[in-house]
């Protein structure tokens, strides 16, 4: 297996006993008692996308489907990278690795955020760059049997934008799923975006000793009766579901999370979908586990029992501090 050892140590999976703590809130998708309360979401139809590189057989023996290859510079650098330890290149090689990572991230992340952006995925088969009439975008892939990254089945990009408690921060990105996207018929948990806590080094906290938590803000994905939905999950210490928003396949959706960060009851989130001036969903209450900045994760992170080979496409990732 050709692992991508980028940032694998810093972003540790927040799981307990191998089972993500967010399982219970996302299980709400099996009930979907909020279906009748959900409004529609607008969308923008993209031009037909073409692969940035020719498709080829996945490097993973666990995957029997074809996968688009990443840019040649990344593939050439990583195809022979050792799988252990997770980061085992030095000097110029480390610089080349970061350069290749940035090449991929530039397809989806605002230029100003690249210094604090990273990839969290296991292999070159889990990422690719495509292009349509609007420009490049990033594909992030999860599939059954893929190597675990930080204890989970994931393919995500991360942005560690600095803020302090009391700040109001806007996070936005566009995503799309194909018409044949393999949703999980059992509707197990599946995150396509979240805001996650992390240890505060200034207080002597490290990933090895830091208590595991579920993301305090998350967007879950599920499908029922032929309709896809995203769910807003929010709160500490146990996130709850605050509603569902229907989405469509084969189109670009833009999601915006405006978060008032706080460890107290004055915390708040508002979820906007596409060009809507009014939030689709809101929630209030504490949203920080500690006083250190929580970081954005976008892509795919799902229950290990889910089968299927799924690409989520991402572009226009932006973060802005609105007030403090």
* Letter string b/e over residues 135-157, b meaning 16 or more CB atoms within 10 A of that residue's CB: eebbbbbbbbebbebbebbbbbb
Q: Provide the CB-side half-sphere exposure for 93 (13 A, CA).
A: 12
- Length of the chain equals 324
Contact 259, 217 (CB under 8 A): yes
pLDDT of amino acid 183: 97
Contact 21, 14 (CB under 8 A): yes
Q: Residues of the chain whose pLDDT is less than 70?
A: 1-92
The pair of three-digit structure tokens given for residue 4, joined into one six-digit string: 């991508």
Instruction: Render pLDDT for 203-241 as a digit per residue (tens, 0 to 9).
Output: 888 888 888 888 999 999 999 999 999 999 999 988 999
Place of tokens 């990572």: 101
pLDDT of amino acid 58: 32
Any idea where the domains of the chain sit in the sequence? Answer: 43-323
Contact 155, 299 (CB under 8 A): yes
Distance between CA atoms of 135 and 10, rounded to whole angstroms? 31
Selected from 3.40.50.970, 1.10.287.70, 2.60.120.200, 3.30.420.40, the CATH number assigned to the domain covering 43-323 reads 2.60.120.200
* DSSP 8-state class, residue 85: S
pTM: 0.77
pLDDT of amino acid 124: 84
pLDDT of amino acid 210: 84
Q: In Å, how far are 56, 169, 293 from 163, measured between CA atoms?
A: 42, 8, 6
């Amino acid at each position: 297996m050709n692992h991508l050892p980028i940032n694998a140590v810093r972003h540790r999976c927040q799981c307990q006993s191998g089972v993500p703590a967010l399982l219970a809130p996302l299980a709400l998708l099996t009930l979907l008692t909020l279906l009748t309360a959900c409004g529609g979401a607008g969308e923008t139809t993209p031009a037909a996308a073409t692969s940035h590189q020719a498709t080829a057989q996945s490097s993973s023996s666990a995957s029997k489907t074809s996968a688009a290859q990443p840019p040649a510079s990344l593939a050439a650098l990583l195809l022979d990278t050792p799988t252990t330890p997770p980061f085992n290149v030095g000097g110029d090689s480390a610089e080349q690795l970061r350069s290749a990572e940035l090449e991929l991230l530039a397809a989806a992340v605002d230029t100003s955020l690249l210094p604090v952006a990273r990839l969290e995925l296991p292999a070159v088969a889990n990422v690719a760059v495509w292009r349509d009439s609007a420009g490049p975008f990033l594909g992030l892939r999860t599939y059954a049997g893929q190597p675990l990254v930080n204890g989970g089945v994931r393919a995500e990009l991360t942005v560690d934008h600095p803020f302090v408690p009391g700040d109001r921060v806007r996070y936005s990105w566009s995503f799309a799923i194909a018409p044949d996207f393999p949703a999980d018929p059992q509707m197990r948990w599946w995150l396509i975006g979240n805001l996650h806590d992390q240890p505060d080094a200034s207080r002597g906290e490290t990933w090895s000793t830091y208590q595991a938590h579920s993301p305090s803000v998350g967007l879950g994905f599920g499908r029922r009766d032929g309709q896809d939905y995203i769910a807003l999950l929010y709160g500490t210490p146990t996130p709850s579901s605050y509603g569902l928003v229907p989405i469509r396949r084969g189109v670009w959706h833009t999601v915006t999370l405006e978060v008032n960060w706080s460890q107290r009851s004055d915390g708040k989130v508002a979820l906007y979908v596409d060009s809507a001036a009014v939030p689709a969903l809101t929630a209030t209450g504490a949203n920080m586990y500690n006083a250190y900045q929580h970081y954005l994760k976008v892509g795919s992170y799902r229950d290990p029992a889910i089968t299927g080979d799924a690409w989520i496409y991402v572009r226009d990732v932006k973060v802005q501090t609105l007030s403090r």
